[in-house]
C-alpha cells in the first residue's frame, strides 16, 4: 500500500497501535469490491459502539462520540473490504460524512447511479476541496470521479485504473482523517 499522507498519519496516530498497524499493512482497496483484509477484519469483527467510543475485538478502545465512532467504523469496513458491513453503518448515519462513506461504498460495488445520489446528499464538503487540490486533477468532483472509476474498472491494470486507485486511496485517507478529527 502507498504511504499514508501526513494528515492521515496525524489523525491515525490516536488509534490503538494494533488498529493503526492493520490499516497501514492493508492492501489498497480496489476500485470495485475487494480485497478482503483478514487482519483488519479480525480487529473489527465484534467491535461495539457505545456512547463513549468504539470497542475493538482486541480489547482496545477508541474514545470518541458515538456518531464519530460509527463513521470511522464504516470507513474501516470499507478498507477491510466488507462493503456490506460498511453499508449497514453508513446508511444509518443521517449526516454528510455518512452519505460520503455511503457514496464510496456504492461506487465500489458498481452501483454508480446510487453512488452519485449519495454524493449529491453530501453537498459541499471540505474533503472535496482537499481532493481537488490533490494530484494532477484526478479528483475534480465526486460525480466525475464515479464516471472515471466506472470506465477504469473495465480496463483493470491500465493507467486510468492506477490513477483512480491512488485517488480513491487519497479520498479514503482524507475522509477518515476528517472523521477522526476532534
| Contacts of 2-6 spanning 24+ positions with Cβ under 8 A | 2/28, 2/166, 2/169, 4/173, 5/170, 5/173, 5/174
Residue 7 pLDDT > 80: no
Predicted pLDDT of residue 33: 84
For residue 55, the cross-strand partners are: 48, 61
How far is Cα 144 from Cα 148, in angstroms, rounded to an integer? Answer: 6
Preceding omega of 103 cis (within 30 degrees of 0): no
Q: What is the dihedral of CA 24, 176, 47, 50, to 10 degrees?
A: 150
Predicted pLDDT of residue 22: 87
Predicted pLDDT of residue 138: 73
CA distances from 112 to 43, 55, 115, 135, 173 (A): 30, 33, 5, 23, 21
Predicted pLDDT of residue 1: 56
Confidence class for position 4, pLDDT limits 50, 70, 90: low
pLDDT digits over 47-70, tens only? 888 877 777 766 777 788 888 889
Predicted pLDDT of residue 88: 94
Q: pTM, whole model, 2 decimals?
A: 0.91
Let me know how long the chain is.
182
How far is Cα 21 from Cα 37, in angstroms, rounded to an integer? Answer: 12
Predicted pLDDT of residue 3: 67
pLDDT digits over 145-165, tens only? 999 999 998 877 788 898 898
How far is Cα 100 from Cα 89, in angstroms, rounded to an integer? Answer: 12
Amino acid at each position: 500500500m502507498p504511504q499514508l499522507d501526513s494528515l492521515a498519519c496525524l489523525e491515525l496516530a490516536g488509534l490503538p497501535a494494533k488498529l493503526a498497524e492493520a490499516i497501514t499493512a492493508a492492501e489498497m482497496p480496489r476500485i470495485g469490491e475487494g480485497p478482503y483484509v483478514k487482519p483488519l477484519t479480525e480487529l473489527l469483527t465484534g467491535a461495539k459502539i457505545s456512547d463513549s467510543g468504539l470497542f475493538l475485538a482486541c480489547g482496545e478502545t477508541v474514545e470518541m462520540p458515538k456518531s464519530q465512532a460509527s463513521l470511522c467504523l464504516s470507513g474501516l469496513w470499507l478498507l477491510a473490504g466488507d462493503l456490506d458491513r460498511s453499508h449497514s453503518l453508513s446508511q444509518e448515519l443521517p449526516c454528510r460524512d455518512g452519505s460520503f462513506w455511503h457514496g464510496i461504498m456504492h461506487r465500489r460495488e458498481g452501483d454508480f447511479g446510487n453512488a452519485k445520489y449519495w454524493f449529491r446528499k453530501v453537498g459541499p464538503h471540505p474533503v472535496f476541496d482537499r481532493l481537488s487540490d490533490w494530484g494532477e486533477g484526478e479528483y475534480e468532483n465526486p460525480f466525475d470521479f464515479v464516471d472515471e472509476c466506472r470506465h477504469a474498472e473495465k480496463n483493470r491494470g491500465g493507467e486510468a485504473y492506477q490513477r483512480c486507485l491512488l485517488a480513491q486511496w487519497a479520498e479514503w485517507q482524507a475522509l477518515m482523517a476528517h472523521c477522526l478529527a476532534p
